């Protein structure tokens, strides 16, 4: 009886340890877009600092570029979702969103996301590459002018959300995963008037920057804040 009890205790400890490891282990999928990439990479660094472990996969065109910049190991070709508590999509492309939204799984990434949805896993995806009004799209002149095109893109996001995918901006990736986005207290107004420039952007330390309506945010400051994963709110 004592031996049985010891074996049961050892097995229980292993199960608890495996569940704890699974809760902070994720699969990261980079699709074929770099919209929102820089703030997303900052968010991944933040998750690593919080103790998260990740395996990552990327579209072939981006794999070599991402490899030296990621603090995680590359995932094997055959990903085992049973080991992960989260599937993270830091750069969601329009093509991948369209496939998953309509149930198409004809490549490794869409198949993996489809399986994750079927298994009921938590999926967090950055909307920057798909949302027609995304700031990164506007900065590159990629804001669609055709209303039907905008409606198509928004419809894919709505379909993903209806299926249970948590959508956020790339700059809020880590906060969404950690569950602090809604729980965080509203940020105080950092500046009411004047110009918020690159020096202030580099020195700012909070995850959210709240500015008054009259403040002029310079383009360089906006880029620095985005690269650091800092969200911007207006009064």
pLDDT in tens, 127-136: 999 999 888 8
Q: For the purposes of burial, counting CB atoms within 10 Å of the CB of 43, is it exposed (0-12), middle (13-18) or buried (19 or more)?
A: buried
| CA 125-127-131 angle, 5° bins | 155
The confidence score (pLDDT) of residue 24 equals: 80
**Shared domain check, 200 and 152:** no
Final residue in a domain of this structure, among 178, 203, 222 = 178
How far apart CA 122 and CA 87 sit, in angstroms, is 6
In a domain, 86, yes or no: yes
What is the domain extent for residue 82? Answer: 2-178
Task: Clarify whether residues 121 and 51 are in a common domain.
Answer: yes
Is the same domain home to 46 and 88?
A: yes
Does one domain contain both 152 and 198? no
pLDDT at 17: 38
How many whole angstroms separate alpha carbon 141 and alpha carbon 135?
10
Q: How much is the pTM?
A: 0.69
| 108-157 residue pLDDT tens | 999 999 999 998 999 999 999 999 988 889 899 999 999 999 999 999 99
pLDDT at position 83, please? 78
Same domain, 32 and 115: yes
165 shares its domain with 200: no
**Are the CB atoms for 97 and 160 separated by under 8 Å?**
yes
Angle at 66 between CA 60 and CA 72, to 5 degrees: 110
Is 183 part of any domain?
Answer: no
> 146 and 221 in one domain?
no
Number of domains in the chain: 2
Residue 141 is classified by DSSP as T
Which residues of the chain carry a pLDDT beneath 70?
1-23, 180-187, 227
């Amino acid at each position: 009886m004592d031996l049985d009890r010891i074996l049961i205790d050892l097995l229980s400890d292993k199960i608890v340890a495996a569940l704890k490891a699974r809760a902070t282990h994720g699969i990261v999928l980079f699709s074929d877009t770099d919209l929102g990439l820089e703030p997303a990479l900052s968010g991944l660094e933040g998750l690593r600092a919080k103790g998260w472990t990740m395996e990552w996969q990327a579209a072939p065109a981006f794999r070599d570029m991402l490899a030296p910049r990621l603090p995680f190991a590359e995932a094997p070709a055959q990903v085992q979702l049973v080991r992960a508590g989260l599937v993270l999509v830091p750069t969601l492309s329009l093509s991948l969103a369209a496939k998953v939204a309509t149930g198409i799984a004809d490549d490794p990434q869409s198949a993996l996301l489809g399986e994750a949805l079927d298994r009921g896993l938590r999926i967090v995806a950055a909307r920057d590459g798909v949302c027609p009004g995304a700031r990164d799209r506007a900065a590159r002149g990629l804001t669609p002018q055709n209303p039907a095109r905008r409606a198509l893109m928004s419809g894919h996001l709505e379909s993903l959300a209806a299926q249970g995918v948590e959508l956020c901006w790339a700059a809020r990736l880590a906060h969404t995963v950690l569950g602090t986005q809604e729980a965080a207290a509203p940020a105080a107004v950092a500046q009411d008037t004047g110009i918020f420039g690159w020096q202030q952007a580099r020195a700012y330390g909070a995850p959210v920057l709240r500015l008054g309506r009259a403040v002029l945010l310079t383009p360089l400051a906006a880029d620095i804040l985005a690269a650091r994963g800092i969200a911007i709110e207006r009064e």
